[in-house]
Amino acid sequence: MKSLVVCADALQYLPDLLPSLPEGAQVIGPEIDSFDDIPAAFPSVSFHTRDMLQTGGNSVPRPSSETLAYLCFTSGSTGKPKGIPISRDNLDTYVKRICDRFNFTPDDRIFQTSPLSFDVSIHNIMAAWCSGATLVALSPAKEPQAFEIAKTENVTSWTSTPSLVSFLDRLGVGASGALPDLRLVVFCGEALPENVAACIANWAPNAKVNNLYGPTEATIAISCHQWRADRDYVDNNGIVPIGEGFESSDLGVFDLETGTEISGEGVGELWLRGAQITSGYWENEAQTRRSFCRDPSGQRWYKTGDQVRRDAQGQIHFLGRLDNQFKLFGYRVELGAIEAVLRELTGLKAVFALPWPYGARPAQGLVAALESPEPVDTLGLKQAMRAHLPKYMVPSQITVVDAVPRNLSGKHDRSALATLIEAQLGRQLERREKS
């Protein structure tokens, strides 16, 4: 710890904390007029009172634009944690973009649904700090009460993963028109199914529903699409587009074979560049070289590993992770297409198709899971799927679960879901053997 900020009420505890500070540390007291005789006992520590901060005397050094704002560890889709340093310039750029776009004011009440380990939480915190808005924090233990808390606290801005709304809808806690004060909904962290956007729009008829996209490497989010109830999203498997990039950011679609940028419409890997992109991975040069590159003109890009499609209007559509694609019996399988059919036929929001055995290469088959509180006719569903999909894309097994596992960031956890499916299949096999 190099800096310690102390409020007036905590001054009495300062002598106990100072011995643990390193040499050259600074103590900042924005509410404190005098530290009395404390500085004399700790000559290696600098102290800054309220008057010093206001007049500039013995002022605290201003951080540079490259100064680290925060360090976030994420495993992404690999399962191996990577440290991602976000600079002050990265964060300043992002905060300016969201404040300009969403017009936060002191009258806003911003719902903090994400744990602090998930960088979406920084979106809410900075929006509140920069506008003087109120931050309404949701305890993880009270997630099932999120709808009621948003209602009683008169929340005006809701930011969450789609998984949270899907979870609340499955519990049956939402009600049409019950969140009239909610003016803004922001989804981030996962692909946004259209029926999830429609669900919260039903709860909050006055809200504008937005889908943000961005890996942690791009400082929370770097593009946005505003969902509209009158638009048909069937052409993208019922998934809301990730939209267009923020100002001063570029979203490029690059050919998977040649690595060249595709101009106009096309399908390829999404690359990102701009002031929000991190400098690289923390103490991991090898991973940095794999994920960051320069094009022939010398521009530096981050390769997301996401497959996308750019349409004729310039909107970017998320198709899936490149590392989630696989071949089955020689055919390339698109999990998103299977999940779109499952959503259409069941009306459910949390549906998943998985290669099976999960994580094995090559895969030997396909399974699916549905989150539903009610029984589902899985045999009838498989029969109905055959009218929409080729035979090799119809799951051999469809499992119904009470709740799809979620990770610490609130996102649906496919790996944990696979373990749950495996356990259920094992129990079914035991029952058959006993009978």
The CATH number given to whatever domain includes residue 372 is 3.30.300.30
**Residue 2, pLDDT above cutoff 80:** no
Confidence (pLDDT) at 394: 94
Residue 351 near residue 370 (C-beta atoms within 8 A): yes
Q: Cα-flanking dihedrals φ and ψ of residue 90, to 5°?
A: -55, -50
- 177 Ramachandran zone, left/alpha/beta (phi>0; psi -120 to 50): left
- How many helices (H) and strands (E) the chain has is answered by 12, 22
For 36-46, what is each residue's pLDDT tens digit?
889 888 988 98
Same domain, 87 and 169: yes
- 387 Cβ partners below 8 Å, 6+ apart? none
Residue 1 has pLDDT above 60, yes or no: no
Question: Per-residue pLDDT averaged across 389-394, rounded?
Answer: 90
Name the band, by pLDDT with cuts 50, 70 and 90, for residue 52. confident
* Any domain includes 60: no
pTM: 0.77
Across the range 242-254, mean pLDDT stands at 94
pLDDT given at position 363: 80
Single residue among 280, 295, 320 that ends a domain in this structure: 320
150 and 165 together in one domain: yes
Using one digit for the tens of pLDDT, what is the confidence trace for 401-416? Answer: 999 999 888 889 988 9
Higher pLDDT, 378 or 50: 378
pLDDT, the chain, mean = 90
**351 and 314 within one domain:** no
Residue 63 maps to a domain: no
Q: With helix as H, strand as E and coil as C, how does 71-101 read?
A: EEEECCCCCCCEEEEEEHHHHHHHHHHHHHH
Q: Give the pLDDT confidence score for residue 79 in this predicted structure.
A: 55
Dump pLDDT digits (tens) for 342-375: 999 999 999 999 989 887 777 888 999 999 989 9
**pLDDT per position as a tens digit, 84-136:** 999 999 999 999 999 999 999 999 999 999 988 889 999 999 999 999 999 99
Residue 343's domain comprises 325-434
Single out the residue of 42, 155, 82 nearest to residue 305, CA to CA: 82
